[in-house]
Amino acid sequence: MVPRVIYGRGSFDDLGEIIAPKRQADAPFIFFIDEVFAGRESLVGRIPLAGRDKIIFINTTDEPKTKQVDALRNQLQEEFGSVSGIIGVGGGSIMDLTKAVGLMMTHEGSSAQYQGWDLLKRPGVYRVGIPTLSGTGAEVSRTAVLTGPERKLGLNSDYTTFDQVLLDPALTKGAPTNQRFFTGMDCYIHCIESLNGTYLNAFSKSYGEKSQELCEEVFLHKNDWDDESDEALMMASWHGGMSIAYSQVGVAHAVSYGMAFVLGTHHGVGNAIVFNYLEEYYPEGVRKFHDMISRWGIDLPRNVCAACTDAQFESMINVSLGMTPLWENALGKNWQRIMTAEKLRKLYERM
Ligand code: NAD
Ligand code: ZN
C-alpha cells in the first residue's frame, strides 16, 4: 500500500514542504510533468524547484514504453548520478512512467526484464504521484504498466507503489470531457470486474462497492463536471485501485490489452470499446454503461478492428489469452473451456 497520502483541494501548494525532508545533498528532485501542462503557469509556476531540480515534460501521445523508461533512467544517471526523488504530475501514463523510472534507477538492465510479477529486487528511489486525471487507480496500485518488445504488461511488485501520493481534485478540472469520461470508465470497469470476479474477497468488495457508488453518482446522475464530481472521481479512482490490488480485473481488460498491443488503442477508450460488447459476462454493468454513454453524449469509436489482418487478430488473441489471472478471475479455473481463440476472434470482429 502507499504509505503516505495527502488529500485536499489546493494541496498541490504543499508539495515543497512534503518533499523537503527527502532532499539529499547534491541530488536533485526530478519532475515528470505531462507535456499538456507546458506553459501553464497555473501549474508549472507552482512547482517547488530548488538547486539543480529539473522539470522534464513528457509527451503522452503513446502510453509508456520500456524503451522510454530505460532511456530516461540512463539520462538521469548520466546527468546527475543520483537523484533525491522523482515526482510525477499527470494521468495514468505519467504515474506509471514515474513509478517505473524510479524503480529502474536502482535496477540494472532493461525494464522489459521486470515485466511480470515480483521480479524487482529492491526499492526504487523516492517517488511521488500527483494525478491530474481520475480513474486508472495507477496512483495507488502495485503495478506500472509498460508496453515492451513482446507484451504490454506491468512491473508488478511490492516495491512498485509510490512512497507518497498527493490528491488534489482541482488538478483534474478542465481536462477534455471525452478523456475524463474514458479514464473514469476505466475506474467503473475496475469495479465491475473486481466485484464480479472469482477472486473477490471482503477487502476488495468494500473498496469496489464504494468506488462503484461514486462512479454512478457522477456518470448516472450528472452530465457535466463540477467540483463535487472531480472530488468523487478522485476518490473513486483510489478505491477502485485498492479493490483490484487485492483481487484482479477481468474480461474487458484482458481483451483490451490485446487490442492495445496491436493497435495502440489507449487504455480507457480501449476498455470502453470492449466493455460495450460484454453483456454476456457483465449484464448489469454493461446496461448501466450504455446509460452512461448516452447520458454524457459520448461517441464510442466503432469498427476499430475492421481492417485487421489475420496476423493482427492472432497477435491480439495471443496477448489477450496470455493474461491468465484476469481470465481466471473473470471465468474461474476452467476459463479456457469458456473463452477459446475462436470465440475471442468473433468478439474482436464485433468491435
Ligand atoms: P493518460 O495519462 O494516458 O493521459 C491521457 C491524455 O490526457 C493525455 O493526452 C494527457 O496529456 C491528457 N491529460 C492528463 N491530465 C490532463 C489534465 N488535467 N488536463 C488536460 N489534459 C490532461 O490517461 P489515463 O487514462 O489517466 O492513463 C492511461 C494509462 O494508465 C495507460 O498507460 C494505462 O496502461 C495506465 N494504467 C495503469 C494502471 C495501473 O494500475 N498502473 C491502471 C490502469 C491504467
Ligand atoms: Zn484499467
Listing DSSP states for 89-130 in one string gives: EESHHHHHHHHHHHHHTTS-S-GGGG-EES---S--S-EEEE
Task: Tell me the CA–centroid distance for residue 255 and ligand 2, in Å.
Answer: 11
What's the angle, vertex CA 129, arms to CA 128 and CA 134, rounded to 5? 165
Please name which of 94, 90, 179 lies closest in space to residue 131, comparing C-alpha atoms: 90
Contact 161, 128 (CB under 8 A): no
Contact 29, 83 (CB under 8 A): yes
Task: Tell me the CA–centroid distance for residue 124 and ligand 2, in Å.
Answer: 24
Cα–Cα distances in angstroms (integers) from residue 292 to residues 71, 123, 256, in the given order: 40, 40, 20
The pLDDT score that the predictor gives to residue 150 is 84
The CATH number of the domain covering residues in 177-350: 1.20.1090.10
pLDDT tens-place values along the chain, 351 residues long: 999 999 999 999 999 999 999 999 999 999 999 999 999 999 999 999 999 999 999 999 999 999 999 999 999 999 999 999 999 999 999 999 999 999 999 999 999 999 999 999 999 999 999 999 999 999 999 999 999 998 888 999 999 999 999 999 999 999 999 999 999 999 999 999 999 999 999 999 999 999 999 999 999 999 999 999 999 999 999 999 999 999 999 999 999 999 999 999 999 999 999 999 999 999 999 999 999 999 999 999 999 999 999 999 999 999 999 999 999 999 999 999 999 999 999 999 999
φ/ψ of residue 29, rounded to 5 = -90, 140
In one letter, which amino acid is 334?
N
Nearest bound ligand to CA 177? 1
For the chain, what is the radius of gyration of the CA atoms?
20
Query: What's the pTM value of the predicted model, to 2 decimals?
Result: 0.97
Contact 127, 163 (CB under 8 A): yes
Task: Tell me the CA–centroid distance for residue 85 and ligand 2, in Å.
Answer: 26
What's the grid cell of residue 296? Answer: 454524457
What's the grid cell of residue 204? Answer: 476488495
Nearest bound ligand to CA 193? 2
Atom 40 (ligand 1) nearest CA: 138
Atom 27 (ligand 1) nearest CA: 92
Cα–Cα distances in angstroms (integers) from residue 240 to residues 113, 164, 248, 318, in the given order: 28, 18, 11, 27
Q: What is the Cα–Cα distance from 291 to 313, expressed in whole angstroms?
A: 30
Give residue limits of the domains in the chain. Answer: 4-172, 177-350
Atom 8 (ligand 1) nearest CA: 60
**SS3 label, residue 64:** coil
Contact 124, 105 (CB under 8 A): yes
Q: Which atom of ligand 1 is least distant from the CA of 96?
A: 41
The pLDDT score that the predictor gives to residue 151 is 82
φ/ψ of residue 255, rounded to 5 = -70, -40
What are the pocket residues of ligand 1 if the criterion is a CB atom closer than 6 Å to any ligand atom? 34, 36, 60, 63-64, 90-94, 96, 132-133, 135-138, 141, 143-145, 171-172, 174-175, 179, 183, 186, 266-268
- 155 CB-side CA count, 13 A: 33
What's the grid cell of residue 215? Answer: 462512479
Please name which of 179, 205, 186 lies closest in space to residue 289, comparing C-alpha atoms: 186
Which residue is it, cell 501514463?
93
Query: CATH 3.40.50.1970: does it fit domain 4-172?
Result: yes
Probe ligand 1: pick from 133, 146, 194, max atoms within 8 Å of CB? 133
